[in-house]
Amino acid sequence: MNIFDFVVTDSHNAAHPLAQYQGKALLIVNVASQCGFTPQYAELESLYQQYANQGLVVIAFPCNQFGHQCIGSA
C-alpha cells in the first residue's frame, strides 16, 4: 500500500482519492489551527505559491490532539 491508495474525506463528507495527486510533490501536514504556535501557515502558503506551478500540493489535516486547539464538530 502507498499514499496514493488512500481516500480522505473532507469536512463536507466528500471523498478525495489521493491518487489524483500522483506525479505531484505532496507535503502533508498535521495542523492545529487555533494553536498560538502556528506561524508556519504563512510559510506554508508562501512555499505553495512559490512551487505550485512545479507540482507542489500541500494537504493539511486538522488535528485536535494538540491541547484541543482545533475544536469543531467536523
Just list the catalytic residues.
Answer: 35
What is the chain's Cα-based Rg?
A: 14
Distance, in Å, from the CA atom of 29 to the CA atom of 35, rounded to the nearest integer, reads 14
Residue carrying C-alpha cell 512555499: 47
Beta-bridge partner residues of 57: 26
